[in-house]
Amino acid sequence: MEEVIVSCSGGKHVGKDIAKNLKIKYSELSTEKFPDEELNIKFKTEIKNKKVILIQSFYDNLNEKIIETLFAYYTAKDLGAKKIELISPYFPYFRQDKRFEKGQGVSIKIISKLFKIFDKIYFIDPHLHRIKKLKQVFKNGKKLDATPLISEYVKNKKIKNPLFIGPDVESGQWAKKAADIINEKSAILKKKRYSDRKVEIKLDKKINVEGKNLILVDDIISTGHTMLETIKKIKKMKPKKIYCIAIHGVFADKKTLNELKKHSEVICTNTIPNKEGKIDISNLFKK
Ligand code: R5P
């Protein structure tokens, strides 16, 4: 079946490279807004009888991007596409995987119902914590792992004596894996979250960081407070240099990002387009 990759508004920063790597024809969705903010989408390439692979990363106006993606799906169906898949470099709502407070919605379960229409969805490092397996929420989901790209980045930068640190139990899996791949050491800290922007990090006195290059690894930097609190505490233990590396650089608080940059080098993959996205995820897609 003939295939075509179509970038939605949040996929253009990586779409072309992914299509090039997969040797698939590339096109971009036209998304415009009427004066009243209703969306108006249009395919600019013939998709009848083809397999359409949409690319959409959900950042910034992410709820609007959800509507855009659903419009793209149903329009493709309407125009006669045979199969419709989605590559989503950053997919949101995974962290709301339980009812934390009485009356709350379990967002990831709701979103998965909306997206079960796709024949397949490729996720890059979805935040799986209390829900252990992607298939529990997305039967049509396939998980891609960008952690080896982090290990490769650290190795290529020739960072000597690195110690990989996960600031909390949830990030620990990424820190350990990134370290293991290049036979380096890792440690996991403990975090208590009081609110969106208030976290407390507990250091483990047994971990010796003096003179070491610390690679703080997390799957997501959202407000940046997890990283910032870790840095504030760990700096007192005299490490050589601190790197903050994440798969998804959401950077919801620009002020905190600037603060992070004063104390560390901040790097992430380009699942979301930003200056820190130096690790290219289009390399995960190869024929
Ligand atoms: C934990 O749940 C995740 O692994 C991240 O630690 C968290 O999402 C980071 O959030 P923030 O940057 O807002 O502290």
Distance CA 203, CA 201 (A): 6
Mutation test residue for ligand 1: of 129, 171, 251, the one with most atoms within 8 Å of CB: 171
Q: Are 40 and 70 in contact, with CB atoms under 8 Å apart? A: no
Distance CA 168, CA 172 (A): 6
Average pLDDT over residues 12-37: 98
Scanning the chain, the segments in alpha helix (DSSP H) are 12-22, 62-78, 107-115, 147-156, 169-181, 225-234, 254-263
Instruction: Read off the pLDDT band of 94 (50, 70, 90).
Output: very high
- Is 206's pLDDT higher than 90? no
- What residues are labeled active site? 191
How many angstroms does the Cα of residue 226 sit away from the middle of ligand 1? 6
CA dist 42 → 18, 31, 74, 126 (Å)? 21, 7, 11, 29
State both tokens at 48.
Answer: 């009848």
Name the average pLDDT for the chain: 96
**Which residue owns the Cα nearest ligand 1 atom 1?**
170
**Ligand 1 pocket, Cβ-based, cut-off 6 angstroms:** 95, 168, 170-171, 199, 218-226
Cβ-based neighbour number of residue 45 at 10 Å = 14
Distance CA 274, CA 49 (A): 36
Instruction: Read off the pLDDT band of 74 (50, 70, 90).
Output: very high
- Is 129's pLDDT higher than 90? no
Instruction: Read off the pLDDT band of 287 (50, 70, 90).
Output: confident
Q: 195 by DSSP, 3-state: which?
A: strand
Q: Are 101 and 87 in contact, with CB atoms under 8 Å apart? A: no
Please list the residues that pair with 123 across neighbouring strands. Answer: 88, 143
- Is 245's pLDDT higher than 90? yes
Bridge-based pairing state of the strands 39-42 and 190-195: unpaired
Q: Are 163 and 186 in contact, with CB atoms under 8 Å apart? A: yes
Average pLDDT over residues 113-136: 96
Please list the residues that pair with 51 across neighbouring strands. Answer: 3, 83
Q: Are 261 and 252 in contact, with CB atoms under 8 Å apart? A: no
**Which residue owns the Cα nearest ligand 1 atom 2?**
170
CA dist 200 → 135, 181, 195, 247 (Å)? 32, 29, 10, 22
pLDDT of residue 5: 98
The 8-class DSSP code of residue 67 comes to H
How many angstroms does the Cα of residue 193 sit away from the middle of ligand 1? 9
Average pLDDT over residues 206-218: 94
- Is 166's pLDDT higher than 90? yes
Average pLDDT over residues 122-134: 95
**Reported pTM:** 0.95
Query: What is the biggest distance separating any 2 CA atoms in the chain, rounded to whole angstroms?
Result: 62
Atom of ligand 1 nearest to the CA of 171: 4
CA dist 110 → 6, 45, 96, 115, 194 (Å)? 25, 31, 10, 9, 25
Mutation test residue for ligand 1: of 222, 228, 266, the one with most atoms within 8 Å of CB: 222
Average pLDDT over residues 164-172: 93
How many angstroms does the Cα of residue 221 sit away from the middle of ligand 1? 6
